[in-house]
Amino acid sequence: MGPTFIRVSRRALEGGAGSRPRPASEPLNRASAIRVAFRPELVPRATVLSVRLRLYHVIQIAWSDWAMPGGGSATSQKLYSSKVIKAGALLGDTMLLLSAWDTTKSVEDNLSRIRGQNVLGKASRSRVEDILPVLKQRYLREPQAVVALSTLVRAGTSREILSPILYFYTCRSDRLLHDAVTELLEPKWLTGQRDIDTPEMERVLGRWVEEGLMAGRWSSWTIRLTARGLLSTLRDFGILEGPARTRTKRIRRPYLPPPAFAYIALVLSQNGAVGRALVESPEWRLFFLHGQQVERLFVEAHQQGLLHYQAAGSVCRIDFVTETLEEYANVVAARAN
């Protein structure tokens, strides 16, 4: 048996944004592509299957990213992508990145150093290249945010406070994760349903595929991997609980301490939600919070000196004790510690 050749773009194998498998009719030059070859008879069958699965997985993700209308990102087009397959919560990696962040350097200079020094401690360069674009999308798009988060981490802020903040940023950067919580988990919680399993998540994703909400046409295998990735990520963030290898998970309301709540409220305020609109922001649904529950947290944050909250009937005024996120991170860290 001769070697098996698979022609796929180099960027697809490296997980680059916008990469895709090339149609047979499209020329493939040596500068932009490589051939992956292996001789099945010379390696164990399990290894062959693993290689084929990995290539299939990469091609599926690359194709879905490329096939989006207008060629934009999933977030900009408000379409769902399957990037959660390659990511997860990444809490440990996020802590390492933020603790090593140099606020005097640019994002690209920091990322270059983190790659070169292997700050994340990964065994392979390819895994680092899988992780860094995800962390960049979540936390590094706004200079204020990364400085504030780095301040919280370096101040030794507890994970009890950091985790919901990181969860919030992650959901805001990944529309699929965001809507899996607000369109599936939160309604189940409100109706007293506490269990979610992989098949149910697959059915929801399949329906969204049929409604044209995905970036490209997803295969059943991509749907299955994405469903597993969503459940795993939400378990790591504490929204679900249950052993990692079980299909059924238990939904639990995220714990949102007042310092984390106040920080998130400031982020929403800086994005244009003020007064009553801030109290009624739909983003609180990420924490299964509504109406009086949100107001109660504003009162607690006020009592802890994290903000000033005044309400009279339907009118309310909310003032924060600092203007910038970096300054506020120092306030939150001081209150938390």
- For 120-162, the pLDDT digits (tens) are 998 888 889 889 999 999 999 988 999 999 999 999 999 999 9
Residue 323 has what DSSP assignment? S
pLDDT band with cut points at 50, 70 and 90 for residue 223: very high
Taking the CA atoms of 284, 289, 295 and 300 in sequence, report the sign of the dihedral they define: negative
> Taking the model in full, what pTM does it have?
0.77
Q: What is the spatial distance between Cα 204 and Cα 221, in angstroms, rounded to a whole number?
A: 14
- pLDDT tops 60 at residue 91: yes
pLDDT digits (tens, 9 = 90+) for 309-323: 999 888 899 999 998
What pLDDT score does 78 carry? 53
Beta bridge partners of 195: 250
Average pLDDT, the chain: 80
pLDDT digits (tens, 9 = 90+) for 31-44: 333 333 434 444 44
Q: Phi/psi at 318 (nearest 5 deg)?
A: -125, 120
What pLDDT score does 79 carry? 81
Task: Check residues 143 and 288 and name the one with the higher pLDDT.
Answer: 288
pLDDT band with cut points at 50, 70 and 90 for residue 84: confident
Domains of the chain with CATH codes: 4-66 (no CATH), 85-251 (no CATH), 258-336 (1.10.10)
Taking the CA atoms of 144, 133, 168 and 212 in sequence, report the sign of the dihedral they define: positive
Tally Cβ neighbours within 10 Å of residue 124.
Answer: 8
The separation between the first and the last C-alpha atoms of the chain, rounded to the nearest angstrom, is 65
Q: What is the signed CA dihedral for 82, 110, 98, 12, rounded to 10 degrees?
A: 10
What pLDDT score does 134 carry? 92
- Are the C-beta atoms of residues 174 and 229 closer than 8 Å to each other? no
- Please state the length of the chain: 337
Q: What is the distance, to the nearest Å, from the Cα of residue 50 to the centroid of all Cα atoms in its chain?
A: 26
- pLDDT tops 60 at residue 50: no
What pLDDT score does 143 carry? 87
- pLDDT tops 50 at residue 264: yes
The alpha-helical segments, DSSP class H, found in the chain are 10-13, 45-66, 74-77, 91-99, 107-116, 125-139, 143-154, 159-173, 175-180, 186-190, 198-210, 220-236, 258-270, 276-279, 291-303, 325-336
Tally Cβ neighbours within 10 Å of residue 220.
Answer: 11
Q: What is the spatial distance between Cα 177 and Cα 88, in angstroms, rounded to a whole number?
A: 10
pLDDT digits (tens, 9 = 90+) for 148-206: 999 999 999 999 999 999 999 999 999 999 999 999 999 999 999 999 999 999 999 99
Average pLDDT over every residue of 45-63: 40
What pLDDT score does 312 carry? 87
